[in-house]
Amino acid sequence: GLKYGYHVNGSKSWLIVKSQLLASEAERVFGSEVKITTEGRRHLGAVIGSTNYKEEYCNEKVNRWREEIEALSDIAKSQPHSAYVAFTKGFKSKFTYFMRTISSFEDYINPIEEAISELFFPALFGQEEPLPEELHEVITLSPPQGGLGIPALSEEAPQQYAASTSITRPHVEAILSQCTSMPEITNEIKNEQQSIKRANANAKRERIDESLPADLLLFVKQARDKGASSWLNAIPVEEQGLTLNKEEFKDSIRMRYGMPLPDLPSHCVCGSAFSVNHALSCKRGGFVARRHDGVRDLLTTLLSRVCNNVEAEPKIMPLDNEQFRLQSTNRSPDARLDIKAGEFWARGVTSFFDVRVSHVNSQCHQNKATSDIFKEQEAEKKRKYQQRILDVEMGTFTPLVFGTNGG
């Protein structure tokens, strides 16, 4: 107080005590300098006080959040990409602070989880009914683990609170002991919390994997491939061409988990029954060529910004009795690769690239890990072109192998 040069601002100061008796004693000591309550007050966004006050505060906060999720779910029906990014990049952070500062916050968040499960998830996936329970569990995983990064709040809340109390324990002990210096949070404490967080995430992933049917587990594992979830982290910036319309986004996340797509044609142009699996494999349907050309054209555009002499589908030098060690080397006089770029890997050296986009769930790839599929196709490209590029063009050759799962 005044003894130490601190002038109390009574209008902003609250003293929270546990009983009316203590309130009377506090009023005798402090007079009207501070406001006194036995109920509780909001403090730095969290709450301190009686159980009743805590319940009232948390329920009010949760009900307001539920209304916001309901509004976001309505937006998701027409703008699912924007709604998803808004939730994962911003809205869900609202919960984190309260889970870390209010004990047993999981007791109050059931209305939020109901709104997410019954309204937000169906809107993202383009359906009316709630998602199956096993898929609901998967979605709570992070995108690199095959989920969508929409947390299970009742499960996460006690973990967040435990982490918060653990990492702030040195400060609490210093305050209680009236230590004159505040200890630093050491790297050892931070590393310990990171280890616990990773262990919890891995245990959850393993538990969910054990409960999934084989067909869904296959798609979830494919979603864990490197790069397969990058599109979920993209901010929908229209100027950069990163926006997905409602049909594109809903179809993308349904395909991510092997769910059927609505309003598909009954037959392919080849005469076979139409399905997603068939469309991604049929040479006559057009999707095989479109996905290849789309990747090639995008890479050509990007390379042209940083390299010189960039060309799509360059014709490579004809042969003049050159001999190659591998019989599989392409010897055609009309041989072409997908992209040529000057000085990509080394100064004065031309680099050649060839794109392969494979449907990882086609019949010929059954029971194969996507990593094995990519390695096989990389080796096939090298057997076909690498020696000719090295010996004739004196350049470098890089196969670019992608999967329809995004990997």
pLDDT tens profile 106-162:
888 899 999 999 999 999 999 888 888 889 899 999 999 999 999 888 888 888 888
Q: What are phi and psi of 136, to 5 degrees?
A: -60, -40
- Angle between helix 169-176 and helix 153-167 axes, rounded to 10 deg: 50
C-alpha to C-alpha distance for 16 and 313, rounded to whole angstroms? 75
Same domain, yes or no: 230 and 111: yes
Same domain, yes or no: 174 and 238: yes
pLDDT reported for residue 178: 80
User: E strand or H helix at 135, and its extent?
Assistant: helix 133-139
Q: Is residue 266 part of a domain?
A: no
Same domain, yes or no: 163 and 233: yes
Domain with 27 in it? 2-38
Paired tokens of 32: 């009207």
Q: Is residue 47 part of a domain?
A: yes
pLDDT tens profile 194-216:
888 888 888 988 999 899 898 88
Q: Is residue 351 part of a domain?
A: yes
| DSSP single-letter state for residue 337 | -
Same domain, yes or no: 225 and 103: yes
**Among residues 371, 382, 250, 231, which one has the least CA distance to residue 298?**
231
Contact between 256 and 219 under an 8 Å Cβ cutoff? The reply is yes
Same domain, yes or no: 33 and 76: no
pLDDT reported for residue 200: 87
Single out the residue in 207, 238, 258 at which a domain terminates.
258
**Domain with 330 in it: what CATH number?**
3.40.1350
Counting Cα atoms < 13 Å in the Cβ hemisphere of 111 gives 14
pLDDT reported for residue 1: 54
Same domain, yes or no: 132 and 32: no
Q: Is residue 276 part of a domain?
A: no
Q: Is residue 43 part of a domain?
A: yes
Q: Is residue 268 part of a domain?
A: no
- Residue 69, classified by CB atoms within 10 Å of its CB into exposed (0-12), middle (13-18) or buried (19+), is buried
pLDDT reported for residue 366: 73
Q: Is residue 281 part of a domain?
A: no
pLDDT reported for residue 8: 67
pLDDT reported for residue 368: 79
Same domain, yes or no: 49 and 179: yes
Same domain, yes or no: 33 and 45: no
Same domain, yes or no: 329 and 233: no
Long-range contacts of range 361-364, CB-CB < 8 Å, 24 or more positions apart? 361/218, 361/222, 361/277, 361/280, 361/404, 361/405, 362/277, 362/280, 362/281, 363/281
The model's pTM is 0.81
Same domain, yes or no: 164 and 236: yes
Q: How many domains does the chain have?
A: 3
Give every residue of the chain whose pLDDT is below 70, as ranges. 1-6, 8-11, 32, 40-41, 45, 407
Same domain, yes or no: 253 and 349: no
C-alpha to C-alpha distance for 120 and 127, rounded to whole angstroms? 10
Same domain, yes or no: 191 and 212: yes
**Among residues 300, 307, 297, 331, which one has the least CA distance to residue 317?**
331
